[in-house]
Amino acid sequence: MGQRPDICVLVNPGAGRDAPEQKRAWLEAACARHPGRFALRETDRDTPLSEQVRRATGDGFARIAAAGGDGTVAGVAAALAGMDDAPDLAVIPFGTFNYFARGIGLPLETGAAVDLAAGGTARAVAAGEVNGQLFLNNASLGLYPEVLRRRERIYAQYGRSRPAALWSVARTILRAGGPEAMRVTLDGCTVRQRSPLVFVARSAFQVERFGLPGADCIRDGRFAVFVAPDGTRAELLTLAARLAAGRIEPGRDFDWHCAGAVTIDTTGRRRTVACDGERFDMAAPFRFTLRGDALRVVRPEGAERHGDEAGPITPGPGAAPGAGSGLAAGGA
């Protein structure tokens, strides 16, 4: 009898810009270097990702590798974080931005990522949580969840592209109602204000790529919280344009805060919250907390001093050029 695979790779065929057949060929070639170690399973859009993770865990795999973008990785991570004695998480980056992988020093090349999944050591990685929902990079209330909903429709009609993503932002702003009154409590200090968007960040790599402050705050084990000002539709469109161009400035375009615990209450009792590019219906108030030992992720030696955890970031080969934005560029 042959060796039983001990690593299950959950592959999102729709992640990133490369054709599903190309991604599959890259994976099969890389996994062939480790005979008998890997089992490849494509994710099924008709079955919740959490259920697919539970099935893989029930089949006895010691590691679950998420092959996809930030949304896929976050979905697998959330499922594992809710289990007792969960398998380790490995990441094979196939997405457009891959903020989580880049932020904790994981290789972007498929072969290197597969080699790491086969032979690397798992270490604890912190994550954010809002009302029980895990997130790795960011979570937000207000305009951005609606941008995601509209973007999905535009992508389905016109395909994935930066112009389509920007158009989804513009249409959302043009059709949006007024800013909502929110009670934002940061480490016990409450501030009432009106805002169309609150963005809670946990990826130092991502905020630095956006040209935003807060990376050191995140590396210190807290959240960087960005609150957009009350404004007209024209002012919001200007803000989105500055964000897309990497010309946003604190004070003028947004307020930002550093906090270890965040609670946001809204006038409406239920709201859609965006977590790593996915939308979730939740009941207010929205409580953001940090889980220092949420996950065990397979990482290279020395990765603890990369990106999201210590020291300034120097993007390596394969990093996307220029600053991007979850709101203005459509990233998760």
CATH of the domain at 263: 2.60.200.40
Is residue 332 one of the residues assigned to a domain? no
- The three-point CA angle 248-15-314 to 5° equals 45
- Indicate if the pLDDT at residue 306 is higher than 90: no
Our count of domains for the chain comes to: 2
Give this prediction's pTM. 0.84
Query: What pLDDT was estimated at residue 314?
Result: 33
CA nearest 321: which of 269, 246, 228, 241? Answer: 246
**Which tokens go with 12?**
């999102």
**What interhelical angle do 49-58 and 70-81 show, nearest 10?**
60
Is residue 312 one of the residues assigned to a domain? no
> Is 6 or 312 the better-scoring residue by pLDDT?
6
Residues 193 and 49 in one domain: no
| CA distance linking residue 284 with residue 288, whole number of Å | 12
Share of the chain above pLDDT 90, in %: 57
| CA distance linking residue 326 with residue 275, whole number of Å | 11
Q: How far is CA 29 from the centre of its chain?
A: 28
Is residue 229 one of the residues assigned to a domain? yes
| CA distance linking residue 146 with residue 168, whole number of Å | 9
Helix (H) or strand (E) holding 8: strand 7-11
pLDDT per residue as tens digits for the range 208-259: 998 899 999 999 999 999 998 887 888 888 888 887 777 888 888 889 999 9
| CA distance linking residue 97 with residue 321, whole number of Å | 10
Residues 65 and 142 in one domain: no
- Indicate if the pLDDT at residue 41 is higher than 80: yes
CA nearest 44: which of 83, 16, 14? Answer: 14
Residues 116 and 237 in one domain: no
